[in-house]
C-alpha cells in the first residue's frame, strides 16, 4: 500500500466518458478538453482507445504532442496489436502510460472471452511485458473485478506486478459494489497481494446504483491512491464517478480521507461547462458542485443564515470551485489581438488564419448583439468554428412567425452538402416549427429523444445553448448550437445532430469483441 497522502486523479472523460451514447468527440474537441484537463491539474488523462479507429489513434497522438504536465494514457485490450497501437499513440508525450485490461470474472471469461483463467493470466502478463517496451508507466485493470473471485484476482494482480505493471486498477465495471463491501474487498487485495506496497492501487467505479463516488471514496479509505473518474460523471450507462465530487469530498473532508490532490479546484466549473458544451450532455441543475443550483439557497431561512454567516449552510465556497470565474472576457471594442490572446489563455489554438478570422468575425457579430462576452461565450463560438469546417448540413436563413392566437410557422433555408434547400412548416411553437421545416428538408426519420436549452451566461441577452439528442435505428447522436436567439440555436443544434447521424465515426468498442 502506498503510504503517500497524494491522491492521483485519473480522468477518463475522453475514453469512458466518450462511451456515453452520442458523446463521441472529434480530435479537435478532444484536444480542447485535454488542454482544459491539464489546466485543471489532472494527473493522468486517458485520451482514448488507440486501437478503436484511426480517428481515436490520431486524437491520442495529437494530445500526446500538445499536453506537457499531465500523463497521457491510452487504453488497450490485453493483446499485442492493441498494446503496440497504444504505445505508438502515446509516444510523443513527455509522460505516457499504457493501460491494458482483461476481464477476470467467471461470467466474462466464459461468455465473452471464452478463455480459461490460465489463458487470461497469460494474456495479461504478455500485454504488460509488451507495454513495458514503450513506457515504464503501465497500468493493468481486471475488468469486472467486482464479480471476480478474490483468489483469482490475487493471482492475476501478482502476475501483473511481476510482469511490470506499476498501477493496478480494480474496476466495478457494472456498478454493483456497495461502499462497505468495496472498502473491505480493496483492503483484502492490498493485504493479500504480494508486492502490493510497490504499486499504486486504483479504483474505477460505475454509477449504476448511484454509488460510484461513495465506492471510490471507500477505496481511498482502504489505502487506494488513484481514483478513475470523469467530468460531470459522464460515462458508459449511468456513468463513472464524478471527478468534481471525488475531489471536493476529499478536500472538504480532509479530516476523514487524509489525502490531497493536485487539482486547481477553481477550474472545475469551467471544465464542467466545456465538457457539457462539447458532448451535448447537459448538467442537471441539482448536480453536486457543478449544477446551477449547487450553491443557490432558495428557502428564506437558508438565505437569511447564509447572509448572516456563510458557513451556517455552506460547506464549500462557490468561488473555490470556479463559479465566480464567469469572467468578463472581452467587449465590443476588443481587437483581433486581444481576442487571439484570450483564445490562447483558454488553451484554444485555431489551426489556420482562416479559422481565426472566422472566429473573430463571429465574435464581432456576437458583441454587436451582446454587450459583455464571457469565456463561456468564446468556447461556444469556437465549437461552431470547428463544426463549420466539416459542415455538410448548415443553417443559411431562418424566418419565424409567432403571434398570439396564431399557429407558429417557420421557413428554413439550409445548405445540404453544398445545395441550398428551403421548406416551411408549422408547429406547436417556433422551435417546433423550425425543426419540422428542417426535417422536411433532410427527411432523416430520426426520433428526437432530448431537447434542452441552457443559458451560457446570465441575463436575457445571454446566448442560449441548445442540445438535441436524436436516435435512428438504435444509434444515438447529440447536436449543439448556440445563439442569442434560441430558435436559431435550436435549428443549428438539429442540423449539427443530423450531420453526426449521417457521418458515423467507425470505431470499435474496447469492451466488446476478442482480444
Q: Which residues bind ligand KIV (CB under 6 A)?
A: 16, 101, 141, 143, 171, 173, 204, 206, 510-511
Q: Are 263 and 9 in contact (CB under 8 A)?
A: yes
* Of 99 and 287, CB closest to Zn ion: 99
Rg (CA), the chain: 24
Sign of the dihedral through C-alpha 424, 426, 430, 436: negative
Beta-sheet pairing, 44-49 with 71-77: parallel
Q: How many whole angstroms separate alpha carbon 25 and alpha carbon 266?
A: 25
- CB 142, min distance to ligand KIV, A: 8
Q: Give the x-and-dash track for 26-65 against Zn ion (CB under 5 A).
A: ----------------------------------------
194 is in an annotated binding site: no
Q: How many binding residues for Zn ion (CB under 5 A)?
A: 1
φ, ψ dihedrals at 163, nearest 5°: -80, -15
Coil, strand or helix at 421: strand
> Quick one: what does residue 101 bind among Zn ion, ligand KIV, none, with the CB cut-off 5 to 8 Å set by partner type?
ligand KIV
- CB 497, min distance to ligand KIV, A: 26
Q: 489-492: long-range contacts at Cβ-Cβ below 8 A with a sequence spacing of 24 or more?
A: 489/453, 489/463, 489/464, 489/465, 490/431, 490/434, 490/435, 490/451, 490/453, 490/466, 491/395, 491/398, 491/412, 491/434, 491/435, 491/438, 492/384, 492/395, 492/466
> Quick one: what does residue 141 bind among Zn ion, ligand KIV, none, with the CB cut-off 5 to 8 Å set by partner type?
ligand KIV
66 is in an annotated binding site: no
16 binds Zn ion (CB under 5 A): yes
Q: How many whole angstroms separate alpha carbon 22 and alpha carbon 280?
A: 8
* Of 16 and 18, CB closest to Zn ion: 16
* Of 2 and 173, CB closest to ligand KIV: 173
- CB 16, min distance to Zn ion, A: 4
16 is in an annotated binding site: yes
Residue with the closest Cβ to Zn ion?
16
* Of 344 and 509, CB closest to Zn ion: 509
Q: What is the DSSP letter of 309?
A: -
- CB 49, min distance to ligand KIV, A: 9
* Of 240 and 478, CB closest to ligand KIV: 240
Cell numbers representing residue 184 in the block: 473491505
Q: Tell the residue number behind the cell numbers 482544459, with chain if given.
A: 36
- CB 289, min distance to ligand KIV, A: 23
- CB 288, min distance to ligand KIV, A: 22
* Of 168 and 330, CB closest to ligand KIV: 168
208 is in an annotated binding site: no
Mention every residue, 6+ apart, whose C-beta is less than 8 A from residue 484. 366, 369, 370, 461, 462, 463, 464
* Of 212 and 437, CB closest to ligand KIV: 212
Q: Are 10 and 202 in contact (CB under 8 A)?
A: yes
- CB 173, min distance to Zn ion, A: 6
144 binds Zn ion (CB under 5 A): no
Binding residues for Mn(2+): 16, 204, 206, 240
Amino acid at each position: 500500500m502506498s503510504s503517500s497522502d497524494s491522491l492521483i486523479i485519473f480522468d477518463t472523460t475522453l475514453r469512458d466518458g466518450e462511451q456515453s451514447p452520442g458523446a463521441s468527440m472529434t480530435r479537435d474537441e478532444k484536444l480542447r478538453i485535454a488542454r482544459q484537463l491539464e489546466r485543471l491539474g489532472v494527473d493522468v488523462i486517458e485520451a482514448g482507445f488507440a486501437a478503436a479507429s484511426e480517428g481515436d489513434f490520431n486524437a491520442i497522438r495529437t494530445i500526446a504532442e500538445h499536453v506537457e504536465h499531465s500523463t497521457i494514457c491510452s487504453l488497450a485490450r490485453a493483446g499485442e496489436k492493441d498494446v503496440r497501437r497504444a504505445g505508438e499513440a502515446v509516444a510523443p508525450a513527455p509522460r505516457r502510460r499504457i493501460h491494458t485490461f482483461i476481464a477476470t470474472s467467471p461470467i466474462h471469461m466464459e461468455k465473452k472471452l471464452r478463455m480459461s483463467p490460465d489463458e487470461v493470466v497469460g494474456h495479461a502478463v504478455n500485454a504488460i511485458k509488451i507495454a513495458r517496451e514503450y513506457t515504464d508507466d503501465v497500468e493493468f485493470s481486471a475488468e469486472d473485478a467486482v464479480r471476480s473471485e478474490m483468489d483469482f484476482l490475487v493471482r492475476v494482480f501478482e502476475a501483473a506486478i511481476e510482469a511490470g505493471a506499476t498501477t493496478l486498477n480494480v474496476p466495478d465495471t457494472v456498478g454493483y459494489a456497495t461502499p462497505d463491501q468495496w472498502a473491505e474487498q480493496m483492503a483484502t487485495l492490498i493485504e493479500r497481494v504480494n508486492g502490493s506496497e510497490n504499486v499504486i492501487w486504483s479504483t474505477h467505479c460505475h454509477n449504476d446504483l448511484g454509488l460510484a463516488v461513495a465506492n471510490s471514496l471507500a477505496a481511498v479509505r482502504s489505502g487506494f491512491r488513484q481514483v478513475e473518474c470523469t467530468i460531470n460523471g459522464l460515462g458508459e450507462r449511468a456513468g463513472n464517478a464524478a471527478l468534481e465530487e471525488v475531489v471536493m469530498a476529499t478536500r472538504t473532508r480532509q479530516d476523514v480521507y487524509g489525502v490531497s490532490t493536485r487539482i486547481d479546484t477553481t477550474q472545475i466549473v469551467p471544465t464542467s461547462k466545456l465538457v457539457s458544451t462539447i458532448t451535448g450532455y447537459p448538467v442537471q441543475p441539482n448536480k453536486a458542485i457543478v449544477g446551477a443550483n449547487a450553491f443557490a439557497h432558495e428557502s428564506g431561512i437558508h438565505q437569511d443564515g447564509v447572509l448572516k454567516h456563510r458557513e451556517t449552510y455552506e460547506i464549500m465556497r462557490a468561488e473555490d470551485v470556479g463559479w465566480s470565474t464567469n469572467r468578463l472576457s472581452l467587449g465590443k471594442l476588443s481587437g483581433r489581438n486581444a481576442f487571439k490572446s484570450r483564445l490562447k489563455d483558454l488553451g484554444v489554438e485555431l489551426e489556420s488564419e482562416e479559422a481565426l478570422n472566422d472566429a473573430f468575425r463571429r465574435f464581432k457579430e456576437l458583441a454587436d448583439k451582446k454587450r459583455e462576452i464571457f469565456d463561456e461565450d468564446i468556447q461556444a463560438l469556437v465549437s461552431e468554428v470547428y463544426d463549420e469546417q466539416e459542415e455538410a448540413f448548415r443553417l443559411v436563413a431562418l424566418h419565424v412567425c409567432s403571434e398570439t392566437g396564431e399557429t407558429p410557422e417557420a421557413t428554413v433555408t439550409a445548405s445540404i452538402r453544398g445545395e441550398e434547400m428551403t421548406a416551411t412548416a408549422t408547429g406547436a411553437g417556433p422551435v417546433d416549427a423550425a425543426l419540422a421545416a428542417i426535417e422536411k428538408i433532410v427527411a432523416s426519420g430520426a426520433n428526437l429523444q432530448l431537447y434542452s436549452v441552457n443559458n451560457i451566461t446570465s441575463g436575457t441577452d445571454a446566448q442560449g445553448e441548445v442540445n438535441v439528442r436524436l436516435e435512428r435505428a438504435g444509434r444515438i447522436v447529440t447536436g449543439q448550437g448556440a445563439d442569442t436567439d434560441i430558435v436559431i440555436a435550436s435549428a443549428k443544434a438539429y442540423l449539427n445532430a443530423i450531420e453526426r447521424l449521417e457521418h458515423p465515426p467507425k470505431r470499435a468498442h474496447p469492451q466488446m469483441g476478442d482480444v
